[in-house]
């Protein structure tokens, strides 16, 4: 079964470690790579020589500020070793970004998504066109694109690039591998958007000088409700998942959800649900396809002025979220929850309900409230999550393909 010798596998693993250190810390000297990876100086010399010869990393010399002494030599990922395309699908559009191997953004544009009902097939065509447009604008060779990293809200099959269910296309599945394989040799990956947010928060924690890596959850509030979770075992093993939180049962036979079920968390906490509650529309009314933030802003303004039904709508939403979180934490462990997404605009109105919903559980009464934080810039987190994951996959692929 083993096709590669164990020495070769060790060498690959060490090369990946060195590349990961350069990803995390930027350009590094020989000694710094050795420090960050814990590998010997001789091993680093062999690895960097191989990676440089294969065009994966490059050396730069910096003269010391004094102008005397030997110049400082640093290694970094070589920008033109390959390219990554990031495709972010959201409720109102698709954003395409081209990024080089060193992680530098080269080009970006967004396209609006038409809200037509016979969606999935037309949408797939639009994505293929968008990718072609990005490629032709850049003038890079098609085979230099090593990976296309796609994200969406909804349920994703983790081992294949298949979108199983999404708020936009419902049960119309999209197999991006099949849709793009004819045109592209690049590896194609698809992730749930809030999973990427959680991964980015986790990477920020690792980079920061906090008390060290721990489990965390990311909760994205908007038209739909997303959850990403990173769990850490004692051995430092990491497990990232995006459970189907928004469609977890909140109330049996409750409000009608966009997924077709009744009583989901989203049917109380999604934007359409807050709208429905604030205007006292029966909760079996078919959810609005899309609610502009400006509509929610108006409800929030009325709630802040003391309008009873408007503030009740936000409180109900908060309780659904708090109850859901308490169940999640009861099944896993106590961990901080970071709240992101357009719904953070209403956190002042949601927070009392969230805390009330959490406080109803035995776990929270025993161990206290989990830490709740708000991070406003969700698009930045999504993009960071894409880069972290995609570039490390590319590093692994390059090393595994052999460095010649």
Q: List the interface residues with Zn ion, window 141-180 (CB under 5 A).
A: none
Single residue of 19, 127, 259, 317 touching Zn ion by CB under 5 A: 259
Q: List the interface residues with Zn ion, window 217-256 (CB under 5 A).
A: 247
Minimum distance of Zn ion from residue 17's CB (angstroms): 42
Minimum distance of Zn ion from residue 249's CB (angstroms): 9
Minimum distance of Zn ion from residue 246's CB (angstroms): 6
Nearer to Zn ion, 138 or 261 (CB): 261
Beta bridge partners of 301: none
Minimum distance of Zn ion from residue 191's CB (angstroms): 21
In this structure, are residues 196 and 158 in contact, taking their beta carbons and an 8 Å threshold? no
Residue 73, Cβ neighbours under 10 Å: how many? 13
Alpha-carbon distance of 367 to 70, in angstroms, equals 57
Residues 6+ apart with CB under 8 A from 370: 325, 329, 334, 335, 336, 337, 358, 364
Nearer to Zn ion, 244 or 332 (CB): 244
Nearer to Zn ion, 176 or 271 (CB): 271
Task: List for the chain the helix, strand, coil content (%; round to 5).
Answer: 45, 20, 30
Closest alpha carbon to 88 in 162, 190, 156, 227 = 190
- Is 261 a binding residue for Zn ion by CB under 5 A? The answer is yes
Closest alpha carbon to 145 in 174, 195, 179, 180 = 180
Stretch that binds Zn ion, among 44-52, 83-91, 191-199, 259-267 (CB under 5 A): 259-267
Beta bridge partners of 147: 84, 187
Number of H helices, E strands in the chain: 13, 15
Stretch that binds Zn ion, among 49-57, 58-66, 260-268, 328-336 (CB under 5 A): 260-268
Minimum distance of Zn ion from residue 168's CB (angstroms): 14
Minimum distance of Zn ion from residue 41's CB (angstroms): 56
Single residue of 21, 195, 257, 339 touching Zn ion by CB under 5 A: 257
Nearer to Zn ion, 199 or 264 (CB): 264
Nearer to Zn ion, 283 or 395 (CB): 283
Q: List the interface residues with Zn ion, window 2-61 (CB under 5 A).
A: none
Closest alpha carbon to 169 in 265, 258, 284, 268 = 258
- Is 269 a binding residue for Zn ion by CB under 5 A? The answer is no
In this structure, are residues 312 and 263 in contact, taking their beta carbons and an 8 Å threshold? no
Alpha-carbon distance of 181 to 192, in angstroms, equals 20
| Residue ranges in contact with Zn ion by CB under 5 A | 247, 257, 259, 261, 264
């Amino acid at each position: 079964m083993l096709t590669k010798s164990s020495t070769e596998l060790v060498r690959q693993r060490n090369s990946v470690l060195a590349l990961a250190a350069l990803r995390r810390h930027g350009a590094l000297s020989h000694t710094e790579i050795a420090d960050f990876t814990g590998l010997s100086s001789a091993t680093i010399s062999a690895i960097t020589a191989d990676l440089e010869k294969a065009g994966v990393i490059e050396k730069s010399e910096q003269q010391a500020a004094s102008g005397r002494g030997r110049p400082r030599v640093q290694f970094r990922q070589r920008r033109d070793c390959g390219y990554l395309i990031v495709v972010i699908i959201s409720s109102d559009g698709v954003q395409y970004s081209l990024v080089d191997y060193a992680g530098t953004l080269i080009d970006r544009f967004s396209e609006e998504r038409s809200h037509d009902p016979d969606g999935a097939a037309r949408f797939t065509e639009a994505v293929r066109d968008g990718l072609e447009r990005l490629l032709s604008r850049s003038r890079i060779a098609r085979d230099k694109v090593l990976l296309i990293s796609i994200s969406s809200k909804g349920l994703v099959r983790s081992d294949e690039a298949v979108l199983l269910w999404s708020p936009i296309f419902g049960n119309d599945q999209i197999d991006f591998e099949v849709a793009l394989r004819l045109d592209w040799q690049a590896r194609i990956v698809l992730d749930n958007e809030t999973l990427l947010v959680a991964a980015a928060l986790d990477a920020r924690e690792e980079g920061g000088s906090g008390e060290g890596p721990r489990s965390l959850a990311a909760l994205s509030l908007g038209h739909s409700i997303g959850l990403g979770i990173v769990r850490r075992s004692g051995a430092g093993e990491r497990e990232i998942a995006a459970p189907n939180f928004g469609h977890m049962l909140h109330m049996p036979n409750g409000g009608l959800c966009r997924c077709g079920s009744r009583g989901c968390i989203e049917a109380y906490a999604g934007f359409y649900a807050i709208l429905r509650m604030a205007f006292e529309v029966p909760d079996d009314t078919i959810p609005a396809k899309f609610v502009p933030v400006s509509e929610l802003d108006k409800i929030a303004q009325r709630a802040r002025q003391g309008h009873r039904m408007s503030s009740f709508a936000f409180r109900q939403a908060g309780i659904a979220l708090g109850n859901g979180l308490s169940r999640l934490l009861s099944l896993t462990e106590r961990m901080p929850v970071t709240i992101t997404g357009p719904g953070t605009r209403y956190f002042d109105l949601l927070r009392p309900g969230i805390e009330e919903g959490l406080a109803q559980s035995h776990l929270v009464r025993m161990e206290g409230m989990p830490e709740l934080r708000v991070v406003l810039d969700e698009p930045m987190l999504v993009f960071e999550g894409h880069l972290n994951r995609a570039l490390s996959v590319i590093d692994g692929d390059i090393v595994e393909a052999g460095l010649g």
